[in-house]
Structure 1
Amino acid sequence: MEQKEGRKREYMLPDMDSTFRVFGAHLRTVDRDWSYPLHKHPIFEINLVLAGTQEFTVERTSYKQLPGDLFLLQPGEHHKSQVSEEEGMTYYCLHFDVDEPSFRELLGRSPRCFYPSDSDLTIAIRPVLDKLIELTAAHEAALQTEARMHILSALFELFAVLSGTLSKLNKDPAGLKSSEIASQVAVMLEQAVDQVGNHSDSDDKDTIASAAAAVGYSTSSVNRMFTRAFGVSPRQYLSTMMLKKAKLLLMDPELTVEDISTRLGYNNIAHFSRQFKRWTGESPSLFRARFHE
């Protein structure tokens, strides 16, 4: 009897290329006179009170933050805080930024900034935050490679839980439509970065205008929807994608800086070098030297 060969199956993970950064994560205990002045920053923030009470103001709305309550702040939101009781306070603060479009879109559609201790979001992410708090408290151990890998693992877990919970919370049809349009524009901007051509500020404007026309909205409307969805403007997003591509190319030892400049569409290597230094504070050659000695 002829034996039929079984049908072969293959499963693969999708290709992924995402960058995230964590800034100034800290666990701090302060006295009753402590306060932090009104400010804003271009990154996301998670702020969790562990003991005591904090008066937290976001865009002129004040909240009483009790132990276990947390804030999830968007880039650009004005906020300030101070201890609101006689005793001191202990809190944990984490600033982060990500370039994964779908995750940024979910963060941008967060229905509110204040999440009490019994909210679905707080309950979901608190176990992961406790891991990060423990790792932060062991600051000397955090310098070790193994500990840093544990921190990265906890951060990815935090982002996974955040995205899953926010997906369930974000049910606004109008917001979904706006986010879908912003996502379409993001794809077009990423495709534009991959295309070869002379790169200039006017080209960025033309690229955004073309994307807006493709989705059937004015450039100003697309700017508003995109910024609301991703926390950055289309032009800032273009710059982020261009910088990301530049870094990846600079990590390839087979390419010269001049080759990379041409691939990215710059008129000459000097133009690219100036732009890269504006983005990162260092020259392309210095960045490359950190990876290829």
Structure 2
Amino acid sequence: MQNFISIPTIESGLYMFGGHRHTVNGGWSFFEQSHQVIELMIVTKGHQLTEIKDSRVVDLGPGDAILIAPGTLHTNRNADNHKKMTYMCLHFDFEDVELRSKIIGLLANKLIPAQSKLAHLSEKMLNDIVDICKDKVHRNDFEVQVDIEIILLQYLKQLSILVQKIKGHNLPFTDKEAKVGRDISVMIEDWVNNDDMNSSFTFSDICSNLHISSGYGHRVFKKVYGITPLRFIDKEKYRKAQRLLEYSGNSIEEIAYMTGAANISIFSKQFKKWSGYSPSEYRKQILHKRTVYSKNQTGYFE
């Protein structure tokens, strides 16, 4: 019998937005767009044409799905000028960079046929979330949001199992490039979260430490992970700022310094761009959520 069993640190960073089911009229189209997250679309009735810029047009019929890679310019339109079409979509992101790169490299920007296991899993996941969200009164309740997160996490688990079963080396990057991308991401995470490091480091500093050029590092990282290294650094700094605002007693000025901002004004502007809240508004919101009330309306917990 083991005397000590370690429980891993888990920080999923699950994020989703813009999810919906929609029935549109004949001739419907949506302007060219791109996102810094993965977008899942499924057609349940009719036909949709998804045009990937500088690539091809993907024709999605009932039950067909597509996973659109981050940063991909694309347009969607109803293939029929007269008949209605129904589709479901969800934009999502998560912290596991290895699974993210495999989804982008192996599955993204191509037709996922209705008869495939992935299409079935994707449609079930979105239907389950849509069913939960039909209750407009409670869909923003904590318990409901946890249920939605569980459904998406279970879907990501199944995605991970599926990509591991894909045979052949179909990834758009070599094993060497995958290692370089991983080395860059690990060093960024370490440097952002190590308070002994100079928090105002640049991507050139990372590449210099890995003995590669900035241009090569940028190209490889974007190829492997689908986002630029600068956006990845920003994301890691935002997560650190969130944690410090939520759990530390540091002042906002100290947190600005710890995340590499030149001054508190720049940090406040950047944090509002990230979250939609100023640092002080965000901290007040978190403190309010942690307030609990007893019979005499008092009480607080961390």
Contact map agreement 2:268 2:279 (CA 8 A) in 1: yes
Tell me how far apart the structure 2 counterparts of residues 189 and 274 of structure 1 sit (CA, whole Å): 22
- 1:166-224: CA deviations, max 9, x gaps? 23227427635122321111001111112335544xx31333322541xxx43222212
State the match for 1:209 in structure 2: 207
Could you say what secondary structure the match of 2:130 adopts? Answer: helix
CA pair 264-54 structure 1, distance change in 2 beyond 3 A: closer
Bigger Cα displacement from structure 2, 124-133 vs 160-169: 124-133
Contact map agreement 2:41 2:90 (CA 8 A) in 1: yes
RMSD between aligned residues: 2.4
Could you say what secondary structure the match of 1:291 adopts? Answer: helix
State the match for 2:141 in structure 1: 144
Contact map agreement 1:111 1:170 (CA 8 A) in 2: no
State the match for 2:10 in structure 1: 16
Question: Does residue 26 of the first structure (1) align with residue 20 of the second (2)?
Answer: yes
Tell me how far apart the structure 2 counterparts of residues 218 and 173 of structure 1 sit (CA, whole Å): 26
Contact map agreement 1:124 1:165 (CA 8 A) in 2: no
Tell me how far apart the structure 1 counterparts of residues 7 and 168 of structure 2 sit (CA, whole Å): 28
Could you say what secondary structure the match of 2:16 adopts? Answer: strand
1:61 to partner: Cα distance: 0.9
Tell me how far apart the structure 2 counterparts of residues 70 and 76 of structure 1 sit (CA, whole Å): 18
Contact map agreement 1:30 1:89 (CA 8 A) in 2: yes
CA pair 271-87 structure 1, distance change in 2 beyond 3 A: closer
State the match for 1:67 in structure 2: 62
Q: 2:279 aligns with which of 256, 263, 284?
A: 284
Contact map agreement 1:197 1:265 (CA 8 A) in 2: no
Contact map agreement 1:32 1:88 (CA 8 A) in 2: yes
Tell me how far apart the structure 1 counterparts of residues 31 and 260 of structure 2 sit (CA, whole Å): 43
Question: Does residue 135 of the first structure (1) align with residue 132 of the second (2)?
Answer: yes
Contact map agreement 2:204 2:214 (CA 8 A) in 1: no
Aligned AA for 1:292?
Answer: L
Instruction: Give ranges in structure 2 of 5+ residues lacking alignment.
Output: 289-302
State the match for 2:86 in structure 1: 90
Aligned AA for 2:25?
Answer: D
1:92 to partner: Cα distance: 0.2
1:231 to partner: Cα distance: 1.7
1:116 to partner: Cα distance: 0.8
Could you say what secondary structure the match of 1:143 adopts? Answer: coil
Contact map agreement 1:54 1:66 (CA 8 A) in 2: yes
CA pair 277-64 structure 1, distance change in 2 beyond 3 A: closer
1:253 to partner: Cα distance: 4.9
Question: Does residue 263 of the first structure (1) align with residue 261 of the second (2)?
Answer: no
State the match for 2:240 in structure 1: 245
Bigger Cα displacement from structure 2, 14-23 vs 217-226: 217-226
Instruction: Give ranges in structure 1 of 5+ residues lacking alignment.
Output: 1-6
Question: Does residue 107 of the first structure (1) align with residue 103 of the second (2)?
Answer: yes
Contact map agreement 2:32 2:73 (CA 8 A) in 1: yes
Contact map agreement 2:192 2:199 (CA 8 A) in 1: no
- 1:206-257: CA deviations, max 9, x gaps? 33322541xxx43222212211222211111111101100110011252222
Contact map agreement 2:191 2:199 (CA 8 A) in 1: no
TM-score (norm 2): 0.83
Matched residues, percent identical?
26
State the match for 1:44 in structure 2: 38
State the match for 1:4 in structure 2: none
* Number of aligned residue pairs: 282
Bigger Cα displacement from structure 2, 245-254 vs 217-226: 217-226
TM-score (norm 1): 0.86
